[in-house]
Amino acid sequence: MMRGGVSWLMVGVVLTVLVSGWSAQPYTVCPSGCPFTKIQAALDAAKEGDTITVGPGVYREHLKITKSVSLIGAGAAQTRLIPAQPGIDLFLVELGDFDNPQPLGQVRLEGFTFQGPLSDNSLALINNHAPIRSLQLRQNIFNNFDRRGVWIYYAEEIVAEGNRSVNTPITLYFDGGRRIRVAGNQVEGISVNPDWRDDRGTEVHAEAEVVDNDVREGIGVSGNTVVRGNRIRGGSIGVGLGPRKTVDYIQVINNELIGPGVLRRRSIPPGISWGIYIGDSGDRVLIEGNKISNYDAGILVDTFFNPPPQVQIRKNAISQGLWGIYFKELLRESSRFEIVDNTIDRQKSPVSDFPLLGAGIFVDTTVGQEEVGKPEIFMQGNTIRLGDFGVLLMPGSGKFEFQGNTITDNDLFGVLLAVPPCGEIVDPAKVQVTGSGNNISNNGKRLKPEEKRVGDGEGNVCPKELMSLKR
């Protein structure tokens, strides 16, 4: 009995001491009272796979992570990492050793504010010098650095969720990865390029998803990427596609994009703003179900070296811009664009003497100039209304088919092809326009009677041969 009583008493004392110790030291690192007061000291002492918890405080350090660890702060509002030497440090956190870049396993960074500024020669707050098997970035804030928040050039798996940024234009920049997921972040800019090679250097399938983010500037993607459910507001660029040559697909689905307003982009030299940019993006592109407004070009096609051979643009709502869909340049190879069931309205120039008037769909002179193939643009079931022009065609060559579109209530011609007598730009022998069943009516309100007579006499089509589109 006595020995049993003493034993239980001793156990109780031990438990009390342990619980008391745990209560006093809930973190691995904190300004005082913890095993470490510096994060780097805890990293140096850690073993592979360890978790290091960091208490509230401001830590003036430059970190180098050379092993698989989880670094968990007390929350981004409470745990801040700032440069020890703001004008000298090139990085705030380095993943891997620059001089001995051994691959890392899993690295997890969560619950921190990573804050600049850094040296004028710096490129990012967080950067890797070695391949990483898995990188997880969650619930962090990237603050006050005018370049990249995170720049990762090669990691097999990347997950970035729930992060925020302040004054860090390209917040998340992932240039190379096999599986990339960027979700639920509130940041200024995102760039992803899924790309992976096996141990023999052979390219293997890689993919990315960028979903449900709030973005204040823009999203740049290439490779096999799905961009879905994002809200992009206020910047001069929305979603940019390309450039990569080996790619199966890019999908931009159900995003909301609100631009700065027509002719509001501030850049040197002056440029146009755009909601979705189709560049040298590879193979199959799907742009579906997006709401796009207040850009100079809702969707901009500007490609040269590697134009996508197949693009579907369908069920988008594009409003209050200058050009709903603008084909600026499309050269070298054949491409087929299917523009189906879109609603495009109020594409107008806000300046009466602006040299280029608005249009729901505008095909410029540098489309189809090369002898290597001709673009094909198929338009079906679209509603194009309340703009300057409905459809304005000025290409060097190509095939254009109209089926079942509604093109009404535009101030100038509903459809204009810039061949004589409606223009001197297009060679009629190089451009084919066909179609039927289109409602092209009630256009030309701003045209003078003599201008209408150049076309069909009503202001709906020019030249009058395009009246066949209505039958």
pLDDT tens figures, 271-314? 789 999 988 766 689 999 999 999 999 999 988 666 667 899 99
Assess whether pLDDT exceeds 60 at residue 3: no
Structure confidence by residue, pLDDT tens digits, 190-225: 999 998 888 888 888 899 999 999 999 999 998 899
The predicted pLDDT at position 282 comes to 64
151 vs 367 pLDDT, higher one:
151
Phi, psi of 44 (to 5 degrees): -65, -35
Instruction: Out of 124-128, 213-217, 335-339, pick the least confident.
Output: 335-339
The predicted pLDDT at position 189 comes to 95
The predicted pLDDT at position 290 comes to 98
CA 179 – CA 134 distance, rounded (Å): 9
416 vs 242 pLDDT, higher one:
416
With beta carbons less than 8 A apart as the criterion, state whether 219 and 190 touch. yes
The predicted pLDDT at position 197 comes to 84
CA 245 – CA 1 distance, rounded (Å): 81
Structure confidence by residue, pLDDT tens digits, 129-178: 999 999 999 999 999 988 899 999 889 999 999 999 999 999 999 998 99
* Closest among 408, 415, 410, 347 to 377, alpha carbons compared: 415
The predicted pLDDT at position 335 comes to 79
Assess whether pLDDT exceeds 50 at residue 226: yes
The predicted pLDDT at position 78 comes to 97
Residues 6+ apart with CB under 8 A from 312: 284, 285, 286, 287, 288, 338, 340
> Cis peptide leading into 117, omega within 30 of 0?
yes
Read off the pTM: 0.90
Assess whether pLDDT exceeds 50 at residue 382: yes
Structure confidence by residue, pLDDT tens digits, 407-465: 999 999 999 999 999 998 888 888 999 999 999 999 999 999 999 999 999 999 999 99
Assess whether pLDDT exceeds 90 at residue 118: no
Assess whether pLDDT exceeds 50 at residue 10: no
The predicted pLDDT at position 447 comes to 95
CA 435 – CA 396 distance, rounded (Å): 20
Structure confidence by residue, pLDDT tens digits, 48-102: 999 999 999 999 999 999 999 999 999 999 999 999 888 788 899 999 998 888 9
Q: 202 is written with which tokens?
A: 């052979």
Q: What is the DSSP code string of 273-325?
A: -EEEEE-S--SEEEEES-EEES-SEEEEEEESSS--SEEEEES-EEEEESEEE
Assess whether pLDDT exceeds 80 at residue 268: no
Assess whether pLDDT exceeds 50 at residue 21: no
The predicted pLDDT at position 16 comes to 42
Helix (H, G, I), strand (E, B) or coil at 331: coil
Assess whether pLDDT exceeds 80 at residue 371: no
Residues 6+ apart with CB under 8 A from 144: 115, 116, 117, 166, 167, 168
pLDDT tier, 389 (very low <50, low <70, confident <90, very high otherwise): very high
The predicted pLDDT at position 88 comes to 80
Taken as a whole, the chain contains a residue count of 471
Q: Where are the beta strands (DSSP E) in 23-112?
A: 50-54, 57-60, 63-65, 69-73, 79-82, 93-95, 104-110
* Closest among 17, 132, 4 to 65, alpha carbons compared: 132
